[in-house]
A and B are shown apart, each in its own frame.
Chain A
Amino acid sequence: MARRGILIERLSKRYGSGDTAVLALKDVTMEVAPGEVVGLIGPSGSGKSTLLKCLGAVIDPTAGRMLLGEDVIFDGGWRVRDLRALRRDRIGFVFQAPYLIPFLDVTDNVALLPMLAGVANDEARKRARELLRALDVEHRAGAMPSQLSGGEQQRVAIARGLVNRPPVILADEPTAPLDSVRAMAVIRILNDMARRFETAVIVVTHDEKIIPTFKRIYHIRDGITHEETGEGRAFE
């Protein structure tokens, strides 16, 4: 049986109740395999962020089912007690802006997650440096975030998302602040890392220039998703 990255079945999210209730997600179903990068595309207010927040275990879905690997994490309610640990250990986040911690150097920005998980500082830094090397920013390991370029900051943010080897990475418009060259570089890195670490990557984006790079795309509109095959151009 093929390994599973993340599977979402009939996931719904309703805000409010009664006459003022808003159904932000309606029976969303999607699956992303390990090593796969899929795009999640939709206009503003379509439910992208709500879906991302549900997947990231920061808001509670109203109904549906979610599996991470073979583990059911949501089935009408959360099946894991510690959502904080779930986010820390099994979900990686890459944001629109890098949101690096400004008072930590590059290495510690990446090493913070394993440290929070109880990994010894030296071991956490070793892991961080390995990832920084893989992402070609090891030479900035001792720099502060303010000393990095936008592209370097985003690569460090990707390293942070990957450092705990999560089965899934949620990337929220990771190329929005970047020019096309840097944007393509970030997408290439996400694809490389997804393959290398067998990570399922969901990229929420509006960015027209990167949409053709996805092999599969989920379109979302008014809380409903439909899947289509993408061009997958850049990474064949």
Chain B
Amino acid sequence: MISLAGRDILHAWGKFIFTGIGLGLLIGVTLTMAGVYRGMVDDGRVLLDNSSADLWVVQKDTLGPYAEASSIADDLWRDVATLPGVAEVTNVTYLTMQARREGAEVRVMVIGVTAGGPGQPGWPPQLIAGRQITRGHYEAVADIATGFRLGDEITIRRNRYGVVGLTRRMVSASGDPMVFIPLKDAQEAQFLKDNEAILMQRRRTEANPAFNRPGVPGLLDAVLATQASSRSVNALLVRLQPGAPAPDTAEAIRRWKRLTVYDRAQMEDILVGKLIATSARQIAMFLAILAIVSAAIVAFIIYTLTMDKIREIAVLKLIGTRNRTIAAMIVQQALVLGVIGFVVGKITATFAAPMFPKYVLLVPSDSIAGFFAVLAICLLASVVAIRVALRVDPADAIGG
């Protein structure tokens, strides 16, 4: 038996191809949306991976440092370093801000890292060009997605930093590329007030008799020095000794230091389950709408193609064609349309993904699931056309 669907498709190939391309663009958007979600999840995981930490120590009862603000003293690391199971502890600051480059602005996450080197928690694990930060001030390593090149200058707050190294795929949970600068500079950028604010604060403090006591020389200077310096960081990144149980060390930090500690799984849960949960729901809504629109389009097209063939279907039924042969023809056409659409959509998504400002991760399992979803949608969409075709009366082929 010849394939009626195949022959019809070959006969009206232009209609199928162009409809398939239209459907494919829609499927491409759907796959890209799924890729955006996967990219957000991956950004979160990459952020955790690149921090090289086993534990994140943050301000008590906060979800910091990525999901909420967190501020802890920058000398706590000494105490944490003495706890059993701790191999390495570093201070770190995170600040998402607009950095300036040659008059243009770019949104970046500025990471303040302590003196050290690659492999230390918080540091970029590898560079694709240049070198790591070696000086205590005004050097930066930037993710290539920032658009900075080696030798460029980044303006962060009042200071300018020379880009000495470039890295790749170092992004915040929201996809902003990272810029690494020395911790002291980052603390200043994050916590220090501007000059006018410092002056006003100084006048206010001088006017306060509690701090400006003639009988206590040096008190006012000490208070002003405290106010003008930053002694805070956002978190401590802890690397455990090999084999050290994370829950025990985390519990010790919580108990003795009155801080909140998250391990890798908890931090991933915060990033994926809380930080991007709203975006994920948003994308899920888009995916649902796109699936419905795709189904409606396929249903409409298949319905129209079937209505165009009503007379032929009546003739086919009159000359003895089984209903299942006619239904199979419609289903096969819907599936072919779906396959054409999926191939076009997959190609579109693959080529479009790198052009998106945010990371789009096209996962093979999503494509496979998408393929079967498209087939299911096409099957569903062909139901209306099949119902119409099966209701065609073979007597319609005879006049009268």
Residues of chain A touching chain B, judged by Cβ–Cβ distance below 8 Å, are: 48-50, 52-53, 56, 58-59, 84-85, 87-89, 93, 95-96, 99, 101-104, 108, 112-113, 115-117, 121, 144, 160, 172-173
Contacts and interface: CB of A to CB of B under 8 A. Distances in A.
B398 A113 contact: no
Interface in B194-240: none
Contacts of A56: 318, 395, 398
A101 B397 contact: no
B1 A99 contact: no
A87 B316 CA distance: 11
7 contacts: A56-B318, A84-B321, A88-B319, A95-B315, A102-B312, A103-B7, A116-B319
Contacts of B321: 84, 88, 116
A80 to B, nearest CB: 12
Contact of B395 (A53, A101, A116): A53
A115 B395 contact: no
Contact of B320 (A53, A59, A101, A113): A113
Contact of B316 (A53, A89, A101, A172): A101
A144 B321 CA distance: 21
B393 A99 contact: no
Q: Which of B312, B325, B400 has the most CB of A within 10 A?
A: B400
Interface residues of B, number: 26
B320 A102 contact: no
Contacts of B318: 56, 58, 87, 93
B104 interface: no
B322 interface: yes
B32 to A, nearest CB: 35
Interface string B123-148: 00000000000000000000000000
Contacts of B10: 103
Given A103-B11, A116-B321, 7 more contacts: A48-B400, A52-B400, A87-B320, A104-B4, A116-B320, A116-B322, A144-B11
B11 A102 contact: yes
Contacts of B393: 58
Contacts of B394: 58, 87
Contacts of A49: 398-400
Contact of B319 (A59, A103, A113, A173): A113
B12 interface: yes
A104 B397 contact: no
A172 B398 CA distance: 7
Contacts of B8: 103
B312 A99 contact: yes
Contacts of B11: 102-103, 144
Contacts of A88: 319-321
Contacts of A48: 400
A115 B319 contact: no
A90 to B, nearest CB: 10
B312 A53 contact: no
B10 to A, nearest CB: 7
A101 B312 contact: yes
Contacts of A121: 1-2
